Amino acid sequence: MKYVKTFNEYVIKYPYPKEELREDFPRTSFPAKITDALLSKHSVFPVVELPAPDYNHNTHYLAPKGTPEFVNGRWVLGWNVLRMGAAERSAKRKELELAVRKEAARRLQFVGAEYTPEERETWATQVNEGKAILAGKLPDSNLLKNLAAARGTPLVDIAKLVIAKATAYANYGGVILGSQSKLLAMEEIPADFSEDKYWS
């Protein structure tokens, strides 16, 4: 909590450390704990920081006001909504575009998180073998054959499972990348772009 020292509703000092009260009144004995009620007797009051207002984060930015104001019986510190210059807007746009791409990458990584690094590294080989097996051809490598033998599962079933997972991942990836493209094409990228409603 920050405090302001006042005189007839004019700001004398802000912020005002309440411990400074002892220095301002060296001949006065104060209790160990200085309460707000005691401070108010010396025209020192707590300052309430107001919530940030809604604003267009593509074109404006927030800056806290430097001086509290007396509003409805209390001292409050509000915000200034300031318009960005051309260079600032360009930099902000690049920042938002990078953030959108990072969010897309995070979502794509999340869907593959259930697989070990070894499984992900061999995924392309598994898919190629699965396609060959389901087409009635002999694959050039034997990764799925060895997996099927180790698990005691028919090779065709392993191939079907691999292709089903690959298709599901491709479909999901298409949705994510499509959503990313849609967001990047917007004239103004919404502040809540990371919410699920933009990615489905």
> Quick one: CA torsion of 10, 13, 18, 24, rounded to 10 degrees?
-100
Domain termination residue (choose one: 14, 49, 83): 83
- Note whether 20 and 57 are same-domain residues: yes
Cis peptide bond N-terminal to 26, omega within 30: no
Which of 83, 102, 117 terminates a domain? The answer is 83
List, for residues 110-161, the tens digit of each pLDDT value.
777 777 777 778 888 989 999 999 999 888 888 999 989 999 999 999 999 9
Give yes or no: residues 62 and 96 share one domain: no
Name the nearest CA neighbour of 133 among 158, 97, 102.
158
Residues 171 and 96 in one domain: yes
Range of the domain at 64: 2-83
Question: Which residue would you say has higher pLDDT here, 117 or 177?
Answer: 177
Q: 42 and 99 share a domain?
A: no
The pLDDT value given to residue 115 = 74
Does 136 lie in the same domain as 51?
A: no
Q: Is there a single domain that holds both residue 91 and residue 187?
A: yes
Helix axes 143-151, 123-134, angle to 10 degrees: 90
Q: Based on the domain organization, do 53 and 150 belong to the same domain? A: no
DSSP at 45:
E
Total number of domains constituting the chain: 2
pLDDT grade, residue 174 (50/70/90)? very high
Q: Which residues have a Cβ under 8 Å from the Cβ of 189 and sit 6 or more positions away? A: 58, 93, 96, 97, 100, 183
The residue from 42, 57, 83 where one domain ends is: 83
74 and 134 within one domain:
no
Work out the pLDDT band at 185, boundaries 50, 70, 90: very high
Helical residues (DSSP H) of the chain, grouped into ranges: 20-24, 36-40, 86-111, 117-121, 123-134, 143-151, 155-185
Same structural domain, 11 and 76 = yes
Which has more pLDDT, 112 or 23? Answer: 23
* pLDDT value, residue 170: 86
Residues 128 and 166 in one domain: yes
pLDDT in tens, 50-102: 999 999 999 999 999 999 999 999 999 999 999 999 999 999 999 999 999 99
Q: Hey, what are 28's tokens?
A: 């006065």
Same-domain check for residues 103 and 183? yes
Same domain, 7 and 44: yes
